Chain A
Amino acid sequence: MAIELPENVVVSKLDELASWCRKNSLWPMPFATACCGIELMATGASRHDLARFGAEVFRFSPRQCDLMIVAGRVVMKMLPVLQRIWGQMNEPKWCISMGACASTGGVFDTYSVVQGIDRFIPVDMYVPGCPPRPEQLIQAIIDLQDKIQAEGTIMGDEFNLPSRQMKKRALVELPVLPSLPPGFIPQLRR
């Protein structure tokens, strides 16, 4: 919904209206990989109903959605898939990293689990928990709605701000570790 406007036109109320529309009709794209996916389904089911917040339409097509909820651990084999789907979504789009595994790697500090998707994807909201209760996810969606209302613009240029374009501290590529000497087995502290 980007409109070409001449430079001397102020659209503050229109911005608020657009943000209000966008926040109350967030269409989630569930990227459910593991246990958090079940709590995501429970949040969408009848007991804790996510549809009352406007997020009724769980369409699995990235072209039709604007909120990607990454629920569950992301493995290095799955990360290119995640990046491709994030790239297929149209602006304006937001990302919620649900659960400890998506936010930081969780209990799985292993050779194959990405230690936080925010190393590779821009994330707007983190939901702690393993798995988070449905009420926590609903709170995250409400907080995201507040963020959209506060920052949103009708032309979607809240994402063009320098603060959003900077690589966050977590969004830094880590160096590949030098090869370890043979026989060296790093042990975790128990």
Chain B
Amino acid sequence: MIQTATLDKLKAAFAGLAVSEFRSQTRVVAPLASAAALMAYLKKDGGFDLLVDVTCVDYLNFRDAKDRFGLVYLLASTVTNERLTVRIFVNEPDLTVPSVTSLWAGANWLEREVYDMFGISFAGHPDLRRILMPFEFDAFPLRKDYPMQGRGERHNFPVLTRGRS
């Protein structure tokens, strides 16, 4: 749900954006080079003051996928009640994306979670470290090549019996 006026202004400001719509939700695919400028524009001139979510999708096993990781930014405006989805595609080996923490403070933990689960680094993030997995964990769990049952990390602990406790 985005107003036509906002969308036209956005398309005029940034040429080369792929805009699509599905179930009345507007999605915009931004190239990585103009990502930072687009986010700043959306926050200041677009009026999207609420960052709803930052997440990532690993398209490794997806049919007809061209890029491996797709970052998804869900934005909303509390004033005009619009929503917009911005997608940025990144590929290995260069998994770095500009951080939006300076625009929306709520992105701090959301980007840390994307880093923890997928391994995507955010340039300019004040404190990029693991948040959900233990700090010494070395894999990225939500990638498609990591098995659901893990690689044996979950049972690698000492055993306490009655004699030893």
Please say whether the chains A and B touch (CB closer than 8 A): yes
Which A residues are within 8 Å of any B CB, using their own CB?
76-77, 79-80, 83, 86-87, 109-115, 119-122, 159, 164-167, 171-177, 179-180, 182-186, 188
Complex interface: chain A residues within 8 A of B145 (CB): 182-183, 185
Q: How far is the CA of A164 from the CA of B164 in the complex (A)?
A: 11
B135 to chain A, nearest CB (A): 9
Q: How far is the CA of A81 from the CA of B141 in the complex (A)?
A: 22
A122 touches B160 (CB 8 A): yes
Complex interface: chain B residues within 8 A of A76 (CB): 134, 153-154, 157
Nearest to B142 among chain A residues (CB) is: A111
- Complex A-B: 27 CB contacts under 8 Å: A76-B134, A76-B157, A77-B134, A87-B160, A87-B165, A109-B148, A110-B149, A111-B141, A111-B146, A112-B133, A112-B154, A113-B154, A114-B154, A120-B160, A121-B160, A122-B162, A122-B165, A159-B162, A167-B161, A171-B161, A173-B155, A173-B157, A174-B152, A179-B151, A180-B151, A184-B147, A185-B61
Q: Which residue of A83, A110, A182 is within 8 Å of B150 (Cβ)?
A: A110
Q: How far is the CA of A180 from the CA of B158 in the complex (A)?
A: 24
B side interface size, CB within 8 A: 25
Contacts A111-B146, A111-B148, A111-B154 hold; do A77 and B159 have CB atoms under 8 A apart? Answer: no
B159 touches A173 (CB 8 A): yes
B144 at the interface (CB under 8 A from A): yes
**Secondary structure of the A contact surface, majority rule:** loop
A186 touches B162 (CB 8 A): no
Q: Which residue of A119, A164, A188 is within 8 Å of B155 (Cβ)?
A: A119
B103 to chain A, nearest CB (A): 31
Nearest to A187 among chain B residues (CB) is: B148
Q: How far is the CA of A122 from the CA of B156 in the complex (A)?
A: 17
Q: How far is the CA of A68 from the CA of B95 in the complex (A)?
A: 45
Q: How far is the CA of A188 from the CA of B149 in the complex (A)?
A: 10
Nearest to A177 among chain B residues (CB) is: B152
Q: How far is the CA of A183 from the CA of B165 in the complex (A)?
A: 42
B159 touches A186 (CB 8 A): no
A165 touches B162 (CB 8 A): yes
Q: Which 8 A-B pairs have the closest CB atoms?
A: A111-B150, A176-B152, A177-B152, A174-B155, A165-B163, A76-B154, A164-B162, A186-B147
1/0 contact trace for B4-22 toward A, CB 8 Å? 0000000000000000000
Complex interface: chain B residues within 8 A of A174 (CB): 152, 155
A12 to chain B, nearest CB (A): 23
